[in-house]
Amino acid sequence: ETGVTQSPTHLIKTRGQQVTLRCSSQSGHNTVSWYQQALGQGPQFIFQYYREEENGRGNFPPRFSGLQFPNYSSELNVNALELDDSALYLCASSAGGERGYGYTFGSGTRLTVV
Amino acid sequence: KQEVTQIPAALSVPEGENLVLNCSFTDSAIYNLQWFRQDPGKGLTSLLLIQSSQREQTSGRLNASLDKSSGRSTLYIAASQPGDSATYLCAVRSVRAGGTSYGKLTFGQGTILTVHP
């Protein structure tokens, strides 16, 4: 059973650019969530996709957008990058959109905006 | 709005000690609570998942308890080892208005644990 894989592992971008981060969910999981973790902080929820539809969103501006594909992999897109977007971006998958399933996290993508 | 607090923020203990990490949350309407471990610069590793109907879960030297009515959870680590050094995070999955699952996990800021030989 493969876990959650994220790519790339590290990325350096210039302020104002756009970036796409990718995530392959664990086998059998149909729900994907994205989190932003600033240094020394707990992860903050960005949004979640269940069966290709966004079904929850945190307090992030519209320049943070995403997609989920039929194979349940996912992308996080960030436009007009700002210095404060520098963080560890974590993807998590779960077996169901509802209730009691736990989440499996990937190793993250470290984004640095300069 | 759900808020999660973890105490202490940092803990340093000698090898072999038993220790307790604390997590509190403000809204008791949760589906479950999950404890994670995070090594520096790495992703999250799930340690224990406790459903709202459960009181505790155990895995090896780890035991997590949940008191939903008082909004508290504890993670007990027995016979600590230097390899246990990491940041420990708790996260709750709340019930959305209307009774459906939101899916969103709300995290505490973590407890940084150092176990020295």
pLDDT in tens, A13-48: 999 999 999 999 988 888 899 999 999 899 999 999
Mean pLDDT on B46-71: 95
Q: How many CB pairs under 8 A join A and B?
A: 70
Can you tell me which residue has the tokens 């109907």? B53
Q: What pLDDT was estimated at residue B33? A: 95
CA distance B66 to chain A (A): 15
Query: Who wins on pLDDT, B96 or B7?
Result: B7
Name every residue whose Cβ is closer than 8 Å to that of residue A32 and which is 6 or more positions away in sequence. Answer: A23, A25, A48, A49, A68, A72, A73, A74, A91, A92, A93
* Interatomic CA distance for residues A33 and A36, integer angstroms: 10
List pLDDT tens digits, range A45-72: 999 998 888 888 889 999 999 999 998 8
What values do phi and psi take at A66, rounded to 5? -150, 175
- Residue A93: pLDDT band (50, 70, 90) is very high
Q: What pLDDT was estimated at residue B98? A: 58
Taking all residues of chain B, what is their mean pLDDT, rounded to a whole number? 93
List pLDDT tens digits, range B76-111: 999 999 999 999 999 999 877 655 556 789 999 999
What burial class does residue A24 get, using C-beta atoms within 10 Å of its C-beta: 0-12 exposed, 13-18 middle, 19+ buried? Answer: buried
Chain A positions touching B105 (Cβ under 8 A) are 33, 35, 43, 45, 92, 103
Chain B positions touching A49 (Cβ under 8 A) are none
Give the CA distances from residue A45 to residues A90, B17, B58, in Å, rounded to whole numbers and listed in that order: 9, 34, 27
Chain A positions touching B49 (Cβ under 8 A) are 102
Bridge partner residues of A22 (DSSP): A7, A75
Can you tell me which residue has the tokens 């729900």? A31
